[in-house]
Structure 1
């Protein structure tokens, strides 16, 4: 997906601390026990590279990180693209996040007791597309490459977060991308995000699973490009 966008736009990719090739010595459990810590990282990257009028593309909980960063520095982030976003994973009165509180407790307990086993079981569910097992394996490999202690903190920060109120702070043009079928962020979530962010645009991709940037990269890139042309 990023290679397609890079043909027309400058694309800056980075790994959050605690994942990928980020410096593990930069990890601080207290800082990354809140999405605010990740939002601050985004702004530090923008400041270091002197980036302005940025379109922030965030997937899943990272979309909420973008919301927080845009509220802190609207002079840096001028547009948001939220790919399969979820402001809250736990069902509430009048809100369907996709999981009960008991589901999340069980998920976190499983992760903490056997991270590698959890990764092998969870990654294919997150990815979906059972007819393309190589995608699930790619995500499993990514999960397993993450330090288990850091992954536990990130998972707890992610699944216990509630950013619904933060959506109301968004004032920049926003694109919400959802998949036709997604067990992590059901269709009700996409509609909720669209209805809560004034003027936002919701596009349903002909894709399944929670990672359309991997399972349907061309369709995802085209939707983002269409948004950038008119936003």
Structure 2
């Protein structure tokens, strides 16, 4: 991989150089001659949550893993509350990473909030992407007239208040609910541990950027082939949301996995690998 310097605008409006590979803990694995998959993790997680699907995908594809700025083993000194108060900065990070590695014809696989980060990135530079795989996506978590996101405003306010007042307690309570696999408590524990490794200050800002976002208007602008993958039961993104995303993105397709929970890459990794592979092979 090349080691070049890209630039971002800091909180004072100045252009500053960034070592993207170091900042986002970029890891490239798999077949150098295969199609490129860029795996983007969701809120409170890092690239480790792809651990059950990445090795299988690497048998046939070039797989690029990274940590969002502020997550995992990224350079946390590069994070600022002002820059990362919206999903736009995360989308720009994805594009910087693609430029740094000179990635083209990329299939971006975005989990949860990263599905919308992927949408934003692909809408800005569609020629760079061969396709999008939106895993458990939600363009808006809040219910609205004619739209069910799964949460009322009171629900979101309570969630954010709990997260801000006692992040570790929130993580221990919410992670098993998000995972949705009470018969496999070890998966809920893994997600809890992932949440607990996140800096609470960073988590609070990312949570607001995530749960108060509304990217519904961005869906119709997607021009690259898109696969929507959701679970039959998901407390965070109910099935209505997957159908809504499918209906709003022109030409997209929907695969609903026979699984529960918001993290099928952990609870049903084989099915996720199969869905990604079939979609990518058809491009």
Calculate the TM-score normalised by the size of structure 1: 0.99
Does residue 224 of structure 2 align to residue 192 of structure 1? Answer: no
Greater strand share, 1 or 2? 2
Counterpart position of 1:151: 203
- Matched-pair contact (CA < 8 Å) for 1:129–1:209: yes
Q: Return the offset for 1:78.
A: 2.0
Stretches of structure 2 lacking an aligned partner (at least 5 in a row): 1-52
Counterpart position of 2:91: 39
Instruction: Find 2:176's aligned residue among 124, 139, 146.
Output: 124
Counterpart position of 1:98: 150
Q: Return the offset for 1:207.
A: 1.1
Does residue 135 of structure 2 align to residue 78 of structure 1? Answer: no
Give the Cα separation in 2 of the matches to 1:161 and 1:191: 19
- Matched-pair contact (CA < 8 Å) for 1:126–1:209: yes
Counterpart position of 2:282: 230
Q: Return the offset for 1:206.
A: 1.3
Give the Cα separation in 1 of the matches to 2:278 and 2:129: 18
Give the Cα separation in 1 of the matches to 2:127 and 2:55: 26
Counterpart position of 2:225: 173
Instruction: Find 2:117's aligned residue among 50, 62, 65.
Output: 65
Stretches of structure 1 lacking an aligned partner (at least 5 in a row): none
Counterpart position of 1:162: 214
- Matched-pair contact (CA < 8 Å) for 1:84–1:210: yes
User: Which 4+ stretches in 1 moved above 6 angstroms?
Assistant: none
Does residue 108 of structure 2 align to residue 56 of structure 1? Answer: yes
Post-superposition CA distance 1:143-169 (Å, at most 9, x none): 000000000000010000000000011
Higher relative contact order (CA 8 A, sep 6+): 1
Q: Which has the larger radius of gyration?
A: 2
Q: Return the offset for 1:65.
A: 0.2
Q: Return the offset for 1:230.
A: 1.3
Greater helix share, 1 or 2? 1
- Matched-pair contact (CA < 8 Å) for 1:69–1:77: no
Give the Cα separation in 1 of the matches to 2:160 and 2:187: 23
Instruction: Find 1:220's aligned residue among 253, 272, 280.
Output: 272
Calculate the TM-score normalised by the size of structure 2: 0.81
RMSD: 0.6
Post-superposition CA distance 1:42-90 (Å, at most 9, x none): 0011011000010000001100000000011112122000000000000
Aligned-partner SS, 2:229: strand
Aligned-partner SS, 1:207: strand
